[in-house]
């Protein structure tokens, strides 16, 4: 496995994480692209929503799913592109909205599925970082992430932009959640808090199991944090709902395990308490990302965004998770900018 000069690696990923508040600013300044969607969303008899995505974008898809279900009460599913690309299913998507999320907008299976969905009667919205991409051109309406070119293979600023875009989309649809501009200042503040991340990285061991747990709006970030650590530090990491974790995977928990718990500020934590007692009974190392409300002595805390609710905080907390993955890969002397065996755009059938 290739090794690198620890003083040089990760400079691209670091710079792209640092751009996130500026990306938020650009996306909010382009708010008109969301308000223009309001007629499409409000005048069509949309009865269900499907979100089309892969990889990091699939984690953002889970965030959009939670937003639509909690703010609109509509059923939201995640697509299975292989139903079209492999099994050639004939779709029936009357009164269905399909939202395609992709950094590049080029993935072959997403384009093929989106094409089939439109032919089946769906309304199609695409969210990409390239307004000239095939997905963007195919859609009835396109949302530009405004993230600029992303060079590091591990997506950072584009993922954060996808979370904010999901929030702004649902806000345009419902006229709720309108105070999201606070994410800019909150993101800037998180970027300045490097010592907590350095302390946490120093206490984390690549040789021991890492499991990342979230619930509700923090679940998408749990999946994404696990993916980022896998991509950049070349180890297997689970990203799970804490509820799912208690239904089986906890049996693998030992006193050498490292449990990352995502608890964004504003999250109702009562649901964690019973599960937390069972996790602590195995004496793992526990790392908190976000709120320290339930932390006890000897547990590591990385403070999260100070926002008015957990939805906004979850968008901004992507920064501390990405920064942890970056610094952890540097500790392990691996290159997070260009992980071996990965490329920026993946073409899947």
CATH number at residue 147: 3.40.50.10490
In-domain check, residue 1: no
Distance CA 157, CA 140 (A): 25
Res 200 pLDDT > 50:
yes
Phi and psi dihedrals of 173, rounded to 5? -75, -40
Same structural domain for residues 235 and 170?
no
Same structural domain for residues 322 and 222?
yes
Query: How many structural domains are present in the chain?
Result: 2
Average pLDDT over residues 187-212: 96
**Residue with more model confidence, 39 or 129:** 129
Render pLDDT for 118-129 as a digit per residue (tens, 0 to 9): 999 999 999 999
Q: What range does the domain containing 325 cover?
A: 193-331
149 and 164 in contact (C-beta within 8 Å)?
no
Render pLDDT for 44-86 as a digit per residue (tens, 0 to 9): 789 999 999 999 999 999 999 999 999 999 999 999 999 999 9
Same structural domain for residues 199 and 140?
no
Res 4 pLDDT > 70:
no
Detail the DSSP E strand segments found in 221-267: 238-241, 258-263
Q: Where are the alpha helices (DSSP H) in 52-120?
A: 55-72, 82-85, 108-119
**Residue with more model confidence, 193 or 340:** 193
**Residue with more model confidence, 107 or 272:** 107
Map tokens 């969303």 to a residue.
41
Distance CA 157, CA 129 (A): 10
Average pLDDT over residues 219-237: 97
In-domain check, residue 309: yes
Res 290 pLDDT > 90:
yes
Same structural domain for residues 211 and 318?
yes
């Amino acid at each position: 496995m290739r090794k690198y000069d620890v003083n040089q690696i990760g400079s691209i990923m670091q710079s792209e994480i640092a751009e996130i508040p500026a990306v938020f600013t650009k996306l909010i300044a382009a708010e008109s692209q969301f308000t223009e969607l309001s007629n499409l969303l409000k005048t069509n008899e949309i009865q269900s929503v499907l979100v089309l995505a892969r990889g990091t974008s699939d984690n953002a898809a889970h965030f959009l799913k939670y937003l639509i279900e909690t703010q609109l009460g509509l059923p939201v599913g995640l697509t299975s592109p292989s139903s079209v690309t492999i099994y050639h299913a004939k779709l029936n998507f009357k009164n269905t909205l399909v939202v395609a999320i992709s950094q590049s907008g080029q993935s072959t299976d997403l384009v093929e599925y989106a094409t089939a969905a439109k032919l089946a009667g769906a309304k199609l919205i695409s969210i990409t970082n390239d307004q000239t991409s095939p997905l963007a051109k195919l859609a009835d309406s396109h949302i530009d992430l405004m993230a600029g070119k992303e060079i590091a293979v591990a997506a950072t600023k584009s993922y954060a932009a996808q979370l904010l875009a999901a929030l702004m989309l649902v806000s345009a649809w419902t006229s709720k959640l309108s105070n999201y501009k606070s994410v800019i200042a909150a993101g800037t503040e998180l970027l300045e808090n490097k010592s907590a991340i350095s302390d946490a990285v120093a206490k984390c061991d690549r040789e021991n199991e890492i499991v990342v747990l979230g619930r509700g709006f923090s679940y998408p970030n749990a999946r994404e944090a696990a993916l980022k650590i896998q991509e950049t530090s070349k180890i297997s990491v689970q990203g799970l709902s804490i509820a799912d974790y208690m239904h089986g995977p906890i049996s693998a928990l030992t006193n050498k395990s490292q449990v990352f718990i995502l608890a964004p500020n504003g999250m109702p934590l009562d649901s964690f308490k019973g599960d937390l007692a069972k996790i602590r009974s195995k004496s793992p190392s526990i790392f908190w990302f976000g709120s320290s409300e339930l932390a006890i002595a000897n547990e590591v805390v990385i403070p999260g965004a100070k926002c008015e609710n957990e939805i906004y905080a979850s968008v901004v907390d992507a920064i501390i998770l990405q920064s942890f993955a970056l610094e952890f890969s540097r500790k392990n002397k691996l290159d997070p900018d260009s992980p071996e065996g990965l490329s920026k755009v993946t073409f899947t059938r």
